[in-house]
Amino acid sequence: MNMARAILSWMAAGVVLLQWLAARAGEERITIEREAWGRTPPIHISLEGYSGEVERVLQFDLEIAGFKVVGSGDEKLQYALKGGGGSVVEGRLQDAIKKSELFAKAYSGGGARTQAHALSDDVVLAVTGKPGVARTKIAFKITRGQDSEVYLADYDGFNAVAVTQDRTVVAAPCWRPGHRMLFYTTYKSGNPDIVSHDLGSGVRRTVARYSGSNISPAVSPDGQHVAMILSKSGSPDLFVANVDGTGLRQLTQTPEDESSPTWSPDGGWVCFATRIDGRRTLARIPAGGGSMRRIATSGVLNPTEPDWSPDGKTIAFTSQMGGFQICLVEAGGGEAKLLVSGEDPCWAGNSRTLIYTKRGSGGRRSLSLLDVLTKQSKDIPINAGTASQPSWAR
């Protein structure tokens, strides 16, 4: 009897131990998941010797790249950028912990703002190993009254210029990767048509002018194909064509309203918004045709406006739950992460920075930048009108 009791006691203790280990394993798994989706601490850096426009540009660029500008005596200081600005901007980047110099450079030509952007990009590359985005371009829509136009600007909103003068409604500008060319929808001919616009020559060509709507162009990563939403067959469906509009192929044929296509980085898939079993969802389909697959976005409702990150790992999208929220989900689907209030998300080429539309007081829209890892954000100053639907050049 004593032996039997001892065996039962050992078995009970073993069950308790297994339960405790399972609970600890569950806690550890949850902790890892939270860290994967959590906030990354910014990199602390000091700026010494800079002033005026150069200092403002450096601080803007570095903070949207995941740095935090602090004083030279900050106890968490990791890097120090020393130099000055004038006709030539100079920069010496030092590792404040290892007491070593990473580079010393001087920048000339293009003005102080251009030189400061070049310096900040070199800092980002030296510290993170990845190129900065300070010298990239964005396209977006500006609305004034009933009309809108496509605009082009530096990534921080400076040097904004109108690309179109259609004096009507334009929508959804997107870049042709590797080219100085935009695609967008215009109502200039009285119908929503998709056109391409060469920024060098100014030449515009019609890509899709079918009966009904021709909207939401998205050019493939290799620049050779364009996905778009056409209602020529009845309801809005997803089509793919050559970049000049030839070779049109229909990928979906549903009674639902498909919208907002975006390409996987390898060009093999097109992700878009649709409805499945009456619920708004994201889906993907092979670019060459095939079966549609749902992309789960657990935890949020009404996903739309997806944008696939250039590294292929995640999809940013808009969720409408009372207001508009920018969300993130793994490319294969899963639990979605709320990032910030806004809509129209678009990735930079670094797969880290997002540009999006922000709604302010009175419903006025403007553009903002978000560093996804640190959650640091910056508003973009554009005074030409109400700004929305940004697209980042890649």
Q: Where are the domains of the chain?
A: 43-128, 137-392
The confidence band for 37, taking pLDDT boundaries of 50, 70 and 90, is: low
The answer to whether residues 40 and 373 touch, using CB atoms and an 8 Å cutoff, is yes
For β-strands 297-298 and 303-308, DSSP reports them as unpaired
**Domain 43-128: what homologous superfamily?**
TolB, N-terminal domain (3.40.50.10070)
For residues 220 and 102, what is the distance between their CA atoms, to the nearest angstrom? Answer: 38
For residues 297 and 87, what is the distance between their CA atoms, to the nearest angstrom? Answer: 51
The confidence band for 3, taking pLDDT boundaries of 50, 70 and 90, is: very low
Task: Please give the structure tokens belonging to residue 252.
Answer: 């979906």
- Domain 137-392 -> CATH class: mainly beta
**pLDDT value at position 7?**
35
Give SS3 for 79.
strand
What pLDDT, in 10s, does the model give residues 317-371? 999 988 999 999 999 999 999 999 999 999 999 999 999 999 887 778 999 999 9
The number of beta carbons lying within 10 Å of the beta carbon of residue 14 is 10
What pLDDT, in 10s, does the model give residues 307-319? 999 999 999 999 9
Give SS3 for 2.
helix
H-state helical runs in the chain: 2-37, 52-64, 111-128
What pLDDT, in 10s, does the model give residues 88-123? 999 999 999 999 999 999 999 899 999 999 999 999
What pLDDT, in 10s, does the model give residues 268-290? 999 999 999 889 999 999 999 99
For residues 76 and 307, what is the distance between their CA atoms, to the nearest angstrom? Answer: 35
**pLDDT value at position 86?**
84
What number is the average pLDDT over the span 37-62?
93
Give SS3 for 320.
strand
Nearest CA-CA partner of 295 in 276, 322, 318, 312: 276
**pLDDT value at position 384?**
80
Side-chain-side CA neighbours of 103 within 13 Å: the count stands at 14
Nearest CA-CA partner of 91 in 129, 53, 49, 51: 49
The confidence band for 31, taking pLDDT boundaries of 50, 70 and 90, is: very low
**pLDDT value at position 38?**
65
DSSP-based helix, strand, coil % in the chain, nearest 5: 20, 45, 35
Phi/psi zone of residue 9: left (φ > 0), alpha (ψ -120 to 50 degrees), beta?
Answer: alpha
Task: Please give the structure tokens belonging to residue 203.
Answer: 């030449």
pLDDT at 58 over 70: yes
**pLDDT value at position 363?**
72
What number is the average pLDDT over the span 127-132?
96
**pLDDT value at position 26?**
36
